[in-house]
Structure 1
């Protein structure tokens, strides 16, 4: 899919960390993050791969769309999008969606303990415009179709078990998913200009074949308590899921979704916001809003995929903007972590950390060519905060 463009909405509303600070829990209703000095210092000049990084960090290219992954017979897919990492013995696996329609699907790259590529393979085929998704506590990858009445597919990162379509999770323009093992639910975002935020409660935790789909309800504004209401027809056969519940909260283009320590973060590209849903308090607040930045220009625009670390840092990739991945710290400070030059026709997708937290994977979906066949997948290694 080529660049997605949404008009910024004019609606404004009112406006604690897992390991300290206010971003995650604790001072749960702190003001949205503001620009400041990042934890790793200023970005240096671009490296040989065209990436600007802080001192001590290096990058490498691990795959290119349309080319064989080094040392394997697998041709890397076009338009790499959402991704995640899984522990694999002493190594790990990085999975990546393909956001093309038709024949989207997902692929994977396996790494040894030293970071060497050992294999690459397909884990999902013959699906449509697989955008983002999410991991599960039982080590599967939920690959989401970003099309009208799209499905969620549960896939095996090892490529051994066949992918399974999970109809009970609803048919809508899916974007991302995040599992909450405490409440035993999966949160879901919807990528339309009047979309909703959902949660799916499986009948049996660990089995997504049946369950209840609900939509978030909330009054006007951007901060306050929420409730959940059941979606009567998750199939959306006659009425779109987002239009079945009166009072459902609307979001302008739901994007990335990430859960940790009772908080689910999700992004909305139409208004450049990062939201934080405190599941324990059942409350929604803003973690970041570019229109509320004071004292200068906003460092983070075009918010998209999101991931986090054990340190409590949140990493948000840009679709457009300055082609950056920005970090929001537990102290509610936002700053660029990396920037890709010469690829203004692309977007950054699929940020995910290796299980040991020492390597960050992500893609430039359309690379230097600006087309889905030009995707590039990178790895950044360095002294990430523990």
Structure 2
């Protein structure tokens, strides 16, 4: 079956406590391959230095160190998400710097005009990615040893943010909520990182619960299960080393959940992984060493998001500064390319509720410095 055809006919499943059924190699879908973009070829760079398909336009909404609606936009903008706000929306963005970190937000009206901007998290370090929760909070994650998850209010103020130690202390990257199983998945950005889920005692309250880690036989496909991490505090033994049989992943990065499936990226081997949470199996959605024909269009995999159509949008950390699309038909192709910013990385892709605007940042912009971040909006005929 095609990789994401089941998104339109998803079944409701339950979490597994032991290994699920193992698919035979012939039953597993092949990783995505080169092909034509559903949006057509990239056009010459626009005035913002972005190459887009025909019919799409870009604009700069914020620059690090410059004022936007009264707020000085933070350095090194990273993971982000969009929240509905009446007829408008809010885009939240982390700051991946060691001192100051935290997160900020920009508010838009129904026409896309900026109506406000403000800080939603202070006093944290290396806030890389995170995840939007169904109860309209943003989890901002610290990418440091024994880092914390902070739950923030996209409407502010920063003083409303709450540390969530029950979700484990490790080098956090991204988070994604699964409202069916009432859990939150998390990635870990180290070369032998793990894939976790947090089971809150009460759904919607992350103050207490159980941290579990994915266990599997190894390899790039098969069945998986979950085992409880004995000490989520991660000291003296790191959480990733506490459970025999837990599966390691080479540098966990972006994470996206939709319809009984979680997709996440690993930067060390340039892979996109797919977890079938109803079936209890995992496989590769993309592997740059398995692309044929031609050279792989996607390298330096990082943040990931998805559209209502079922397309995945994967941002590059370096490479040639592209956001690539992986379609439900297992085709991978460039969607956009940022030019003249080879010392930066693309971060924080997120769609508006209507799916017609995409936000993202170039973390270090043209300067190659954390102080040179640029946050963009792309508008156009996205597939929804």
Short-chain TM bin: over 0.9
- Match for residue 336 of structure 1? 334
- Match for residue 275 of structure 2? 277
- Match for residue 102 of structure 2? 105
Q: Structure 2 matches for 1:92-131, cutoff 5 A? A: 92-131=89-128
Q: Structure 2 matches for 1:81-230, cutoff 5 A? A: 81-160=78-157, 162-230=160-228
1:21 and 1:331 in contact (8 A); partners too: no
User: Structure 1 length normalisation: TM-score?
Assistant: 0.93
Shift of 1:21: 10
2:30 and 2:285 in contact (8 A); partners too: yes
Q: Structure 2 matches for 1:1-386, cutoff 5 A? A: 16-17=4-5, 19=7, 29-69=28-68, 72-160=69-157, 162-386=160-384
2:33 and 2:293 in contact (8 A); partners too: no
Question: Over aligned residue pairs, what C-alpha RMSD do you find?
Answer: 1.5
1: CA distance, partners of 2:369 / 2:88: 32
2:271 and 2:301 in contact (8 A); partners too: yes
Question: Structure 1: which 5+ residue stretches go unaligned?
Answer: 1-15
Post-superposition CA distance 1:264-288 (Å, at most 9, x none): 0000000000000111011111000
2:254 and 2:265 in contact (8 A); partners too: yes
Question: Structure 2: which 5+ residue stretches go unaligned?
Answer: 14-25
Shift of 1:220: 2.2
Shift of 1:17: 3.4
User: Structure 2 length normalisation: TM-score?
Assistant: 0.94
Post-superposition CA distance 1:280-309 (Å, at most 9, x none): 011111000000001110000000000001
Post-superposition CA distance 1:99-123 (Å, at most 9, x none): 0002100000000000000000000
1:18 and 1:312 in contact (8 A); partners too: no
1:307 and 1:316 in contact (8 A); partners too: yes
1:274 and 1:288 in contact (8 A); partners too: yes
2:7 and 2:259 in contact (8 A); partners too: no
Residues 347 and 331 (structure 1 numbering): CA distance in 2 closer, same or farther, change over 3 Å? Answer: same
Shift of 1:28: 7.9
1:19 and 1:310 in contact (8 A); partners too: no
Shift of 1:196: 0.3
SS in 1 for 2:5: coil
Residues 28 and 258 (structure 1 numbering): CA distance in 2 closer, same or farther, change over 3 Å? Answer: farther
Shift of 1:49: 0.2
SS in 1 for 2:135: coil
